[in-house]
Structure 1
Protein backbone atom coordinates (compact mmCIF):
# COMPACT_ATOMS: atom_id res chain seq x y z
CA UNK A 1 0.00 0.00 0.00
CA UNK A 2 1.27 3.43 -0.76
CA UNK A 3 1.05 6.20 1.77
CA UNK A 4 -1.28 8.32 -0.39
CA UNK A 5 -3.97 5.62 -0.40
CA UNK A 6 -3.73 5.26 3.38
CA UNK A 7 -4.10 9.01 3.88
CA UNK A 8 -7.03 9.06 1.46
CA UNK A 9 -8.76 6.20 3.29
CA UNK A 10 -8.10 7.90 6.64
CA UNK A 11 -9.81 11.05 5.33
CA UNK A 12 -12.76 9.09 3.91
CA UNK A 13 -13.37 6.77 6.87
CA UNK A 14 -15.67 9.11 8.85
CA UNK A 15 -17.93 9.56 5.83
CA UNK A 16 -17.80 5.82 5.11
CA UNK A 17 -18.81 4.99 8.69
CA UNK A 18 -21.68 7.52 8.51
CA UNK A 19 -22.72 5.97 5.14
CA UNK A 20 -22.24 9.23 3.28
CA UNK A 21 -19.83 8.00 0.59
CA UNK A 22 -20.62 6.70 -2.88
CA UNK A 23 -20.69 3.03 -3.88
CA UNK A 24 -17.36 3.37 -5.73
CA UNK A 25 -15.75 5.03 -2.71
CA UNK A 26 -17.12 2.30 -0.44
CA UNK A 27 -15.60 -0.38 -2.70
CA UNK A 28 -12.24 1.41 -2.72
CA UNK A 29 -12.21 1.71 1.09
CA UNK A 30 -13.28 -1.92 1.61
CA UNK A 31 -10.61 -3.24 -0.75
CA UNK A 32 -7.97 -1.10 0.92
CA UNK A 33 -9.00 -2.16 4.43
CA UNK A 34 -8.75 -5.83 3.42
CA UNK A 35 -5.11 -5.35 2.39
CA UNK A 36 -3.86 -2.72 4.88
CA UNK A 37 -3.66 -3.75 8.55
CA UNK A 38 -2.98 -0.19 9.77
CA UNK A 39 -6.10 1.22 8.12
CA UNK A 40 -8.14 -1.80 9.28
CA UNK A 41 -7.04 -1.14 12.85
CA UNK A 42 -8.04 2.52 12.49
CA UNK A 43 -11.44 1.53 11.07
CA UNK A 44 -12.06 -0.93 13.90
CA UNK A 45 -11.08 1.70 16.46
CA UNK A 46 -13.49 4.20 14.91
CA UNK A 47 -16.46 1.82 14.86
CA UNK A 48 -15.68 0.15 18.19
CA UNK A 49 -17.61 0.93 21.33
CA UNK A 50 -16.19 3.37 23.82
CA UNK A 51 -16.76 2.47 27.45
CA UNK A 52 -16.82 5.38 29.86
CA UNK A 53 -17.23 4.81 33.55
CA UNK A 54 -19.53 7.19 35.32
CA UNK A 55 -17.55 8.87 38.04
CA UNK A 56 -18.92 11.47 40.35
CA UNK A 57 -17.29 14.78 39.78
CA UNK A 58 -15.66 16.52 42.70
CA UNK A 59 -16.18 20.08 41.52
CA UNK A 60 -18.97 22.22 42.85
CA UNK A 61 -21.43 23.74 40.48
CA UNK A 62 -21.34 27.52 40.52
CA UNK A 63 -24.61 29.27 41.23
CA UNK A 64 -25.30 32.06 38.78
CA UNK A 65 -28.09 34.60 38.91
CA UNK A 66 -29.35 36.21 35.73
CA UNK A 67 -29.73 39.97 35.40
CA UNK A 68 -33.41 40.00 36.43
CA UNK A 69 -32.58 38.02 39.55
CA UNK A 70 -29.80 40.47 40.41
CA UNK A 71 -32.18 43.40 39.98
CA UNK A 72 -34.76 41.75 42.26
CA UNK A 73 -32.11 41.14 44.93
CA UNK A 74 -30.96 44.77 44.76
CA UNK A 75 -34.53 46.08 45.09
CA UNK A 76 -35.19 43.73 48.04
CA UNK A 77 -31.98 44.94 49.68
CA UNK A 78 -32.98 48.58 49.37
CA UNK A 79 -36.49 47.74 50.58
CA UNK A 80 -35.05 46.00 53.65
CA UNK A 81 -32.91 49.07 54.43
CA UNK A 82 -35.95 51.37 54.10
CA UNK A 83 -38.08 49.12 56.37
CA UNK A 84 -35.31 48.99 59.00
CA UNK A 85 -35.00 52.78 58.81
CA UNK A 86 -38.75 53.23 59.25
CA UNK A 87 -38.80 50.88 62.24
CA UNK A 88 -35.99 52.80 63.90
CA UNK A 89 -37.67 56.16 63.12
CA UNK A 90 -41.02 54.94 64.50
CA UNK A 91 -39.34 53.63 67.66
CA UNK A 92 -37.69 56.99 68.21
CA UNK A 93 -40.98 58.89 67.71
CA UNK A 94 -43.01 56.60 69.96
CA UNK A 95 -40.50 56.45 72.80
CA UNK A 96 -39.41 60.04 72.60
CA UNK A 97 -35.71 59.25 72.55
CA UNK A 98 -34.82 62.53 70.91
Structure 2
Protein backbone atom coordinates (compact mmCIF):
# COMPACT_ATOMS: atom_id res chain seq x y z
CA UNK A 1 0.00 0.00 0.00
CA UNK A 2 1.13 3.53 -0.66
CA UNK A 3 1.99 5.85 2.19
CA UNK A 4 -0.58 8.34 0.89
CA UNK A 5 -3.40 5.78 1.08
CA UNK A 6 -2.43 4.81 4.62
CA UNK A 7 -2.35 8.46 5.72
CA UNK A 8 -5.71 9.06 4.05
CA UNK A 9 -7.26 6.03 5.77
CA UNK A 10 -5.78 7.10 9.13
CA UNK A 11 -7.39 10.53 8.70
CA UNK A 12 -10.75 9.03 7.72
CA UNK A 13 -10.94 6.27 10.34
CA UNK A 14 -12.67 8.37 13.05
CA UNK A 15 -15.46 9.31 10.60
CA UNK A 16 -15.64 5.71 9.41
CA UNK A 17 -15.98 4.41 12.98
CA UNK A 18 -18.72 6.99 13.63
CA UNK A 19 -20.41 5.85 10.39
CA UNK A 20 -20.30 9.34 8.89
CA UNK A 21 -18.57 8.47 5.60
CA UNK A 22 -20.10 8.23 2.17
CA UNK A 23 -20.64 4.80 0.68
CA UNK A 24 -17.65 5.21 -1.63
CA UNK A 25 -15.37 6.25 1.23
CA UNK A 26 -16.61 3.36 3.37
CA UNK A 27 -15.86 0.87 0.58
CA UNK A 28 -12.40 2.41 0.02
CA UNK A 29 -11.53 2.15 3.74
CA UNK A 30 -12.84 -1.42 4.02
CA UNK A 31 -10.88 -2.53 0.94
CA UNK A 32 -7.75 -0.87 2.26
CA UNK A 33 -8.09 -2.35 5.75
CA UNK A 34 -8.43 -5.84 4.26
CA UNK A 35 -5.11 -5.52 2.47
CA UNK A 36 -3.06 -3.37 4.91
CA UNK A 37 -2.06 -4.88 8.26
CA UNK A 38 -0.87 -1.57 9.76
CA UNK A 39 -4.14 0.22 9.01
CA UNK A 40 -6.17 -2.76 10.23
CA UNK A 41 -4.30 -2.63 13.56
CA UNK A 42 -4.85 1.12 13.76
CA UNK A 43 -8.55 0.62 13.08
CA UNK A 44 -8.83 -2.01 15.82
CA UNK A 45 -7.09 0.22 18.35
CA UNK A 46 -9.19 3.28 17.46
CA UNK A 47 -12.41 1.29 17.41
CA UNK A 48 -11.65 -0.22 20.83
CA UNK A 49 -10.86 3.21 22.30
CA UNK A 50 -14.06 4.76 20.94
CA UNK A 51 -16.24 1.86 22.08
CA UNK A 52 -14.56 1.87 25.50
CA UNK A 53 -15.13 5.61 25.89
CA UNK A 54 -18.84 5.29 25.19
CA UNK A 55 -19.27 2.41 27.63
CA UNK A 56 -17.99 4.31 30.68
CA UNK A 57 -20.52 4.45 33.47
CA UNK A 58 -21.68 7.87 34.61
CA UNK A 59 -20.47 9.03 37.99
CA UNK A 60 -22.67 8.03 40.90
CA UNK A 61 -24.63 10.81 42.51
CA UNK A 62 -24.85 10.83 46.26
CA UNK A 63 -28.31 11.04 47.70
CA UNK A 64 -29.07 12.85 50.91
CA UNK A 65 -30.75 10.93 53.66
CA UNK A 66 -34.21 11.97 54.83
CA UNK A 67 -32.92 13.53 58.06
CA UNK A 68 -30.42 15.71 56.24
CA UNK A 69 -33.08 16.88 53.76
CA UNK A 70 -35.38 17.89 56.64
CA UNK A 71 -32.52 19.71 58.35
CA UNK A 72 -31.69 21.64 55.17
CA UNK A 73 -35.34 22.64 54.68
CA UNK A 74 -35.59 23.82 58.31
CA UNK A 75 -32.37 25.81 57.97
CA UNK A 76 -33.69 27.38 54.77
CA UNK A 77 -36.90 28.49 56.45
CA UNK A 78 -34.93 29.71 59.46
CA UNK A 79 -32.77 31.81 57.16
CA UNK A 80 -35.86 33.34 55.56
CA UNK A 81 -37.31 34.17 58.99
CA UNK A 82 -34.04 35.76 60.13
CA UNK A 83 -33.84 37.92 56.99
CA UNK A 84 -37.50 38.97 57.43
CA UNK A 85 -36.87 39.90 61.09
CA UNK A 86 -33.80 41.89 60.12
CA UNK A 87 -35.77 43.84 57.54
CA UNK A 88 -38.61 44.40 60.02
CA UNK A 89 -36.25 45.60 62.79
CA UNK A 90 -34.38 47.87 60.35
CA UNK A 91 -37.71 49.38 59.30
CA UNK A 92 -38.71 49.99 62.94
CA UNK A 93 -35.38 51.54 63.90
CA UNK A 94 -35.37 53.92 60.93
CA UNK A 95 -38.99 54.98 61.28
CA UNK A 96 -40.15 53.44 58.05
CA UNK A 97 -43.03 51.71 59.82
Q: Please give the TM-score of this superposition, normalised by the length of structure 2.
A: 0.51
TM superposition shift of 1:45: 0.3
What are structure 2's unaligned runs of at least 5 residues? 57-97
Query: Which position in structure 2 is the counterpart of 1:86?
Result: none
Query: Which position in structure 2 is the counterpart of 1:19?
Result: 19
Query: Which position in structure 1 is the counterpart of 2:32?
Result: 32
Provide the C-alpha distance between the structure 2 equivalents of 1:3 and 1:37, rounded to a whole number of angstroms: 13
1:47-87 C-alpha deviation (Å, 9 max, x unpaired): 1154x9xxxxxxxxxxxxxxxxxxxxxxxxxxxxxxxxxxx
Query: Which position in structure 2 is the counterpart of 1:8?
Result: 8
1:16-56 C-alpha deviation (Å, 9 max, x unpaired): 00011000000000000000000000000011154x9xxxx
Query: Which position in structure 2 is the counterpart of 1:72?
Result: none
Q: Which has the higher helix share?
A: 2
Provide the C-alpha distance between the structure 2 equivalents of 1:47 and 1:13, rounded to a whole number of angstroms: 9
**RMSD between aligned alpha carbons?**
3.7
What are structure 1's unaligned runs of at least 5 residues? 53-98
User: After superposition, where does 1:46-57 map in structure 2 within 5 Å?
Assistant: 46-48=46-48, 50=52
Provide the C-alpha distance between the structure 1 equivalents of 2:26 and 2:42, rounded to a whole number of angstroms: 16
Structure of greater Rg? 1
Count of residues in Structure 1 that have an aligned counterpart in Structure 2:
69
Query: Which position in structure 2 is the counterpart of 1:42?
Result: 42
Displacement over 6 Å in runs of 4+: none
**SS at 1:19's partner residue?**
coil
